Amino acid sequence: MTNSKPSVLLIYTGGTIGMMQDHRTGELKPFNFKALSKQIPELEKFDIQLSSISFKNPIDSSNMNPQVWIELVTIIKDHYHQYDGFVILHGSDTMSYTASALSFMLENLSKPVILTGSQLPIGIIRTDGKENLITAIEIASAQKNGKPLVTEVCVYFEYKLYRGNRTYKYNSAHFDAFKSPNYPALAEAGVKIQYNVNALLKPSKKALTVHTTLENDIAVLKLFPGISKKITLSILNSLDVKAVIMETFGAGNACTDEWFLTALKQTIDRGVIIYNVTQCAEGKVIQGMYETSSALKKIGVVSGYDITFESAVTKLMYVLGKKQTLEKRKQLLETNLRGEITN
């Protein structure tokens, strides 16, 4: 950038943060982001060039899908050299999915992409949206020696900055809606913003590569004691399924009934990926640690290590979308690509 002050592009997709309450009817409706400074006059105090783009038809985050992710990364790609950082306003329900997806779709990222939102609309007096937005913009514009301090896809919520593909939404009733159980916060906003520099991803020296081919032929098999054989088989034998996320117990354990292991092996032999992700919020899959996971490792189940479910879904979409052999895809799933796993 040739400008002396940093520039940030604000992208509004929808969600609670962008809503205003109609004082006459009490209904919530999106407000005009061109008048953002009127809603948040504090933004005028920033020495930042701030621009905004709003989706023509803002969506509830429950309707988030891969086409919207492609639209988002395309916007970032088209404006990548015009701005020093990006802030995406997004509904909180699926924010971790979007953050995870964008982390894989934006390869060799060297600028911050910060997702934020709120639990209460920005037009409500007690809203958490103002602080979340103001600090997200400040982080997106933060520089050291003329270069962005943060160079990855993050989620900022309630005074904490997290690596996006390490988060999940755990609370719908309080402002601290997100957790990152297996990776420390990247920054914490107090009187000053304290950055955990050692936890940040190093900026890439390569040119940005944007991936827009995603495959979503994925099924989920969540294990529980007494799981039905016929239901399990119906999931594993689903037509056109390319991968199955198997949510296992503890450190990646599953029952060792002959019918179950046989069904998994037959599925793997058909070329379907079985991705082992723990049901536990903290900890990781260690296949072979116990007898109940040794068999999974032997038949070719892929370990998800400490990946979140949200990141597992989007990483699979990304990997399945690549023109690679089955073995290469499995290798990519067990490789730390964007800081999403510790293996």
71 within 8 A of 1, measured Cβ to Cβ: no
Helices (H), 119-240: 129-141, 229-236
Q: What are phi and psi of 242, to 5 degrees?
A: -105, -25
Beta strand 7-12 with 85-89 is: parallel
CA distance 95 to 154: 10
CA distance 1 to 22: 40
Q: Is 232 a catalytic residue?
A: no
76 within 8 A of 113, measured Cβ to Cβ: yes
Tokens of 317: 């979409």
Q: Which of 16, 98, 151, 248 is catalytic?
A: 16
Nearest to 45 by CA among 134, 159, 157: 134
Hey, is 297 helix, strand or coil?
helix
Q: CB neighbours of 186 closer than 8 A, spacing ≥ 6?
A: 150, 154, 161, 162, 163, 195, 196, 199, 200
Q: Please count the other Cβ atoms lying within 10 Å of the Cβ belonging to residue 24.
A: 6
140 within 8 A of 112, measured Cβ to Cβ: yes
Residues for the chain: how many in total? 343
- Name the one residue in this structure whose structure tokens are 């940093």: 6
Q: CB neighbours of 143 closer than 8 A, spacing ≥ 6?
A: 6, 84, 149
Classify burial at 125, counting beta carbons within 10 Å of its beta carbon; exposed 0-12, middle 13-18, buried 19 or more.
exposed
Sign of torsion over alpha carbons 200, 201, 207, 210: negative
| Element holding 320 (H helix, E strand) | helix 309-320
- Catalytic (active-site) positions: 16
